[in-house]
Amino acid sequence: MAYDQDLEFIYYGPTRVVFGVGSSREVEVEMSSLGCDRAVVMTDPGIIKAGLLDGVKDTLGKKCVGVFSDIPQDTGVGIVNRAADYAKECGANIIISLGGGSVIDTAKNVCIILKEGGRCEDWQGLGMLSGPVTPHIVIPTTAGTGSEVTFATVLFDETKGQKVLTNEMFNAPRVAILDPKMTEKLPPLLTAGTGMDAMCHAVESLHSLQHEPIADGLAIHAIRLLSRNLPACVDDGSDLSARGQVQIAALLAGWAFGNALVGVVHAMAHSIGAIARVPHGIANGILLPHCMDFNLEDAVEGYGMVAEGFGVRDRGMDSLTAARESIKAMKAFTKRIKHPQKLSGVGVKEADIARASELCMSDGSILNNPKMIIDSSQVLEIYKKAF
Amino acid sequence: MALKAFSQEWMDAWLKSIQTSQEYKEIAKEWEGSVSIIVNPDPSKGIPEPIYMWTDYWHGEAKDFHYCDKAKAESANFVMSGEYIRWKQVAKKELDSTKALMQGKLKLKGDLTYVVKHVKTVNKVVDLLAALDTVFPDD
């Protein structure tokens, strides 16, 4: 991969990472090392039902001053405000998120409000924070979002009926604790869907207009780890070795896309997710190969690196051939992990895709796509192929 | 003759170039709202105090460009702020304004989805600014 002489970028990834089977027991030590003693845990009902909260609460003991669990699949502005009110009432000086992307993104926005005040809707914009927010430790229970190390969040804005992005350098979590045991009970479909979210982060950071060598390296290794380990997780959820490698892949892809950003796949997944409530990872996984087909001519080098990650780029293979091989590999991979192949198969109606095409044009991710998108009809064509 | 960056004459020339651009009228026909530009102080580059500029647009028309105070700047529909060097890069088209926002080089207070939806309008306004013959304080 050649980079232009005028290459310039800023890479930022300040989150401390703690990894290992049983590492969630480190949460109290990590919290104390940040000088904090009053934690509110943010989680969701599924996590509580799976019994994952108990161990964390036991470890925290009296330092856990509250649990907020009213967080749905797609979190939103109103939920963040309620969670922030609760955390304030509890006198929290640290937030611990135990869950997937929706829980983590809720917690990130709560940390902004605890430090800066106001309501969630007051913090619409980019780069608005004046300094570090309330400390946040993340214990992911899925392996895909990467939100444990990014400074971006996605929230459903109930008034707009749209998912909105925030991007705040000061909002990266302080610590990410990756405990493979936390993902052990994820069912195969959720394992595949969240895994494809990570895969999509890696691929999109490679084809993004803002890709750069550090993010590229992280993304290629993420693809390598996912291609080798995600099928094993789908086949046997108790394979903690594979689970751990997929967690690491998701984190690497998080660092990659947190810096290089994402493109049309995410813009489309956010939009169809807002309208038809398709889980984000599954929307990404269905749309990704179709978007790669769409972008191919403008992302040859990037997809050549995807082929390297998949191990399908032979020595001496030219970039265009490698890029085509990467798309074939991606299609085969989604089938291998039994990922849904069509939007119509996950509850999307034909009328939804026209609405989503329009919504997509105001999603910030679309600006970073390698192929310029000037009209919603281009997006609609991709949706139709994925329908 | 080159205009001094951030002077009223410079803002007037920018306003006029937008008002006389047929292409802008067409692209921006759905844009509504004011945009303030805040240039952070940098005494070493000839910017001793913050600069607050008010620009206002309505359905293809550019209405009013002038200096303002901090309170008014912060009341705009969209508030864009950043270091002098970043604004200079944007004004010379050395830095794409939307890329600068995404990279945290410029800050935005306001509805990002609206800005993205109207990114062509934003780019046209910046193109017209960059076309001005401008001399910067540290040139």
ipTM reported for the complex, 2 dp: 0.81
**Nearest residue in chain A measured CA to CA from B118:** A362
Ranges assigned E (strand) in chain A: 16-19, 39-42, 64-68, 94-99, 125-126, 136-140, 152-157, 162-167, 175-178
pLDDT(A2) > 80: no
Among candidates A125, A363, A366 on the partner chain, residue whose Cβ is nearest the Cβ of B110: A125
- pLDDT at position A73, please? 87
Percentage above 70 pLDDT, chain A: 100
Minimal Cα–Cα distance from B78 to chain A, Å?
9
Contacts of A126 in chain B (CB under 8 A): 101-102, 104, 106-108, 112
A242-259 confidence digits (pLDDT tens): 999 999 999 999 999 999
Asked if the Cβ–Cβ distance from A10 to B99 is below 8 Å, we say no
CA-based nearest distance A178→chain B, Å: 27
H/E stretch holding B57: strand B51-58
Per-residue pLDDT of B83-105, as tens digits, reads: 999 999 999 999 988 888 888 89
Which residues in chain A have their CB less than 8 angstroms from residue B112's CB?
124-126, 164-165, 364
Q: Does A147 have pLDDT greater than 90?
A: yes
With a CB-CB cutoff of 8 Å, which residues 96-125 of chain A face chain B?
A: 124-125
- pLDDT at residue A38 tops 90: yes
Res. A218 pLDDT band, cuts 50 70 90: very high
Res A68 pLDDT > 80:
yes
pLDDT exceeds cutoff 70 at A382: yes
Q: What pLDDT, in 10s, does the model give residues A277-303?
A: 999 999 999 999 999 999 999 999 999
Helix-strand-coil percent breakdown of chain A, rounded to 5? 60, 10, 30
Q: What is the mean pLDDT of residues A70-95?
A: 96
Query: Pick from B102, B109, B116: which is nearest to A363 by CB?
Result: B116
- Among A126, A361, A368, the residue with its CB nearest the CB of B107 is A126
Q: Which of A244, A236, A156, A149 minimizes the C-alpha distance to A201?
A: A149
* Share above pLDDT 90 across residues of chain A, in percent, rounded to a whole number: 90
Provide the pLDDT confidence category of residue A77 given band limits of 50, 70 and 90: very high
Q: Which of B116, B117, B118, B123 to mutate to test the interface with A (most CBs of A within 10 A)?
A: B116
Strands B32-40 and B51-58: antiparallel
The size of the A-B interface in CB pairs under 8 A is 62
Mean pLDDT computed over A347-368:
95
* CB-based contact B108 A164, cutoff 8 Å: no
A169 close contact with B: CB closer than 8 A: yes
Domains recognised in chain A with CATH numbers = 16-183 (3.40.50.1970), 188-386 (1.20.1090.10)
Nearest CB to A10 within list B103, B112, B117: B103
Q: In the predicted model, is pLDDT for residue A130 greater than 90?
A: no
Sequence letter at residue A126: L
Q: Across residues B10-30, what is the average pLDDT?
A: 96
Most B CBs within 10 A among A126, A129, A166, hence the mutation to make, goes to A126
CB nearest to A124's CB, from B101, B112, B119: B112
Record: contact B112-A164, CB cut-off 8 A: yes
Contact A169 B104 (CB under 8 A): yes
pLDDT recorded at residue B102: 83
Mean per-residue pLDDT of chain A: 96
Interface check A358 vs B, CB under 8 A: no
CB contact under 8 A, A10 and B102: no
Best probe of the B interface among A362, A368, A373, by most B CBs < 10 A, is: A362
Do B109 and A124 lie within an 8 Å CB cutoff? yes
CB A309 within 8 A of CB A202: yes
**What 3-state DSSP class applies to B15?**
helix
Class of domain B3-133 (CATH, top level): alpha beta
In this structure, are strands B3-4 and B134-135 parallel, antiparallel, or unpaired?
parallel
pLDDT at A158: 87
pLDDT bin (cut points 50, 70, 90) of residue A125 is confident
Mean pLDDT of A2-12: 88
Structure confidence at residue B57 as a pLDDT band (50, 70, 90) = very high
Residue of A209, A210, A362 lying closest to B113 (CB–CB): A362
Res. A227: pLDDT tops 80: yes
Q: Is the pTM of this model over 0.90?
A: yes
Lowest-pLDDT choice from A35-39, A119-123, A182-186, A329-333? A119-123
pLDDT score for B103: 82
Q: What are phi and psi of A139, to 5 degrees?
A: -120, 95
What average pLDDT score do residues B43-68 get? Answer: 95
Candidate from A162, A368, A374 with C-beta closest to B102: A368
Where along chain B do its domains lie?
A: 3-133
Rounded Cα distance between A231 and A332, Å, is: 12
pLDDT reading at A1 higher than 70 = no
Cβ contact, residue pair B104, A165, below 8 Å: no
Is residue B19 within 8 A of residue B28, CB to CB? The reply is no
Q: What is the mean pLDDT of chain B?
A: 94
Which DSSP string do the residues of A131-165 spell out, in sequence order?
S--S-EEEEESSSS--TTT-SEEEEEETTTTEEEE
Provide CB contacts within 8 A for B20, sequence distance 6+. none
Inform me whether the pLDDT recorded for A311 exceeds 80.
yes
In this complex, the residue of A169, A361, A374 whose CB is nearest that of residue B117 is A361
**CB pair distance less than 8 Å for B109 and A261:** no
**If you measure CA to CA, which chain A residue comes closest to B105?**
A127
> Per-residue pLDDT for A86 more than 90?
yes
- Residue A277: which region, alpha, beta or left (left: phi > 0; alpha: psi -120 to 50)? left
Per-residue pLDDT averaged across A79-94, rounded? Answer: 98
Instruction: State what percent of residues in chain B have pLDDT above 90.
Output: 87
Helical (H) or strand (E) element with B66: strand B61-67
